[in-house]
């Protein structure tokens, strides 16, 4: 059996998306910057995709700028706040993706910003009162807080954070890479100035994403060259990627309630069966609390000696793909688990689910873990 439970790293391409992409690989191949028929038809398709995304998010098409993915979008948002808006103080969390944290570390080292971290508890919950204090006394700021953590699944109240930023005159950037396509975002009501998204997290193609930049907020040009994306992002557009991104988001919104319920049931099934069949288990962060975590992520800790301390390899040999955390941090201890004080010497596994997973796959995975536990206990 081959089981894929690493959907927070990337998701399987939806067949409807593949069908939508194919003509833009074979038939509609013009350069959208060319002023002839082949170019115009492709340019029209790109703008149609932009309008589709904007409509789903209740935004304006001119607020959507296509990128190579979430990392570029996060970098662009942060650098724009600092270099186009003169922000000198950035407030964030220790749980952000490295696309955010490493960018901020570079800016801090260069002396361009003061960097502050919001206090948290040992489950990764943010101290909103501390955020308010940080916003009160350090001048104009950028707050960068992800909607949901990619490792422990914690959902952050970005509606509340956005209102707080608005009251204090701060810019707000949220990495929504893990929640785009899994939750509805109404950007006309959400007080955020920048959000980042990546298609391959919701069954779209890899190598494409977008940044939402609220109308009236300036973007710094990260890539220089041609005049693509209204002179904001140089380089020939990833045409089939953009078409696939829009189609994937359209499908996600169409089926979002059904898939939410289905995947949450799979996650609940795994939680229950792990508790019943496997001993010495602990769920990290809020990942086992339904209303406080992504329904797609469950982070589990088992003892260090479980499978000789190499549980992921054991699962791989059983045909089960999972991870110890972010795919972007392979080979190093999770900075997220360190930040909440979790025992990083344990076998920490992130199981992440999608609409393509089944109850039988959950049962098989727990069965293999339970069999290993019984063998160790014998």
Residue count of the chain, please give it. 378
Interaxial angle between packed helices 37-57 and 239-277, expressed in degrees from 0 to 180 and rounded to the nearest 10: 40
Residue found under tokens 């508890």: 121
User: Which residue among the candidates 165, 213, 328, 346 is catalytic per the annotation?
Assistant: 328
Sign of CA dihedral 57, 62, 67, 71: negative
The 141-144 sheet, strands edge to edge: 64-67, 209-213, 194-198, 171-175, 141-144, 89-92, 114-117
User: How buried is residue 234: exposed, middle or buried, by Cβ count under 10 Å (0-12/13-18/19+)?
Assistant: middle
For CA atoms 226, 228, 231, 233, the dihedral sign is: negative
CA dist 54 → 63, 96, 214, 273, 313 (Å)? 8, 25, 12, 41, 42
DSSP class of residue 157? -
Comparing C-alpha atoms, which of 18, 48, 69, 280 is closest to residue 180?
A: 69
Distances (CA, A) of 234 to 49, 69, 222: 18, 15, 8
Sign of CA dihedral 179, 180, 186, 189: positive
Torsion, Cα of 159, 165, 166, 169 (10° steps): -170
CB 21 within 8 A of CB 240: yes
Query: Which of these, 349, 347, 280, lies nearest to 8 by C-alpha position?
Result: 349
346 labelled catalytic? no
Q: What is the CB neighbour count within 10 angstroms for residue 40?
A: 13
d(CA 266, CA 53): 29
Return the active site residues.
328
């Amino acid at each position: 059996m081959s089981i894929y439970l690493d959907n927070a790293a990337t998701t399987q391409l939806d067949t409807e998306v593949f069908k939508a992409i194919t003509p833009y690989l074979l038939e509609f191949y013009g350069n959208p910057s060319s002023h002839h028929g082949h170019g115009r038809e492709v340019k029209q398709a790109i703008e149609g995709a932009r309008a589709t995304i904007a409509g789903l998010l209740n935004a304006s098409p001119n607020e959507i700028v296509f990128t190579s993915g979430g990392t570029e979008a996060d970098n662009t948002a942060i650098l724009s706040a600092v270099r186009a808006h003169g922000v000198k103080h950035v407030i964030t969390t220790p749980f952000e993706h490295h696309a955010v944290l490493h960018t901020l570390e570079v800016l801090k080292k260069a002396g361009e910003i003061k960097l502050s971290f919001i206090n948290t508890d040992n489950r990764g919950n943010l101290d909103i009162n501390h955020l308010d204090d940080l916003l009160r006394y350090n001048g104009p700021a950028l707050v960068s807080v992800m909607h949901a953590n990619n490792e422990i699944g914690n959902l952050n109240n970005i509606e509340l954070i956005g209102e707080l930023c608005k009251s204090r005159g701060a810019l707000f950037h949220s990495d929504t890479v893990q929640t785009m396509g899994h939750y509805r975002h109404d950007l006309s009501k959400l007080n955020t100035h920048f959000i980042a998204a990546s298609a391959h997290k919701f069954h779209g193609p890899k190598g494409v994403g977008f940044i939402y930049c609220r109308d009236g907020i300036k973007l710094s040009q990260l890539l220089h060259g041609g005049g693509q994306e209204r002179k904001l992002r140089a380089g020939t557009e990833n045409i089939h990627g953009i078409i696939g991104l829009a189609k994937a988001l359209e499908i996600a919104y169409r089926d979002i309630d059904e898939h939410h319920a289905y995947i949450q049931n799979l996650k609940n099934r795994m939680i229950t069966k792990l508790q019943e069949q496997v001993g010495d288990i602990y769920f990290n962060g809020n990942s086992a609390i339904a209303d406080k975590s992504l329904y797609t992520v469950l982070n589990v800790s088992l003892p260090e000696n479980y499978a000789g301390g190499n549980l992921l390899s054991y699962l791989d040999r059983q045909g089960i793909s999972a991870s110890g955390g972010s795919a972007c941090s392979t080979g190093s201890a999770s900075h997220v688990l360190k930040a909440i004080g979790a025992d990083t010497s344990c076998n920490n596994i992130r199981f992440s689910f999608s609409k393509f997973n089944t109850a039988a796959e959950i049962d098989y995975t727990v069965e293999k873990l339970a069999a290993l536990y019984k063998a160790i206990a014998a």
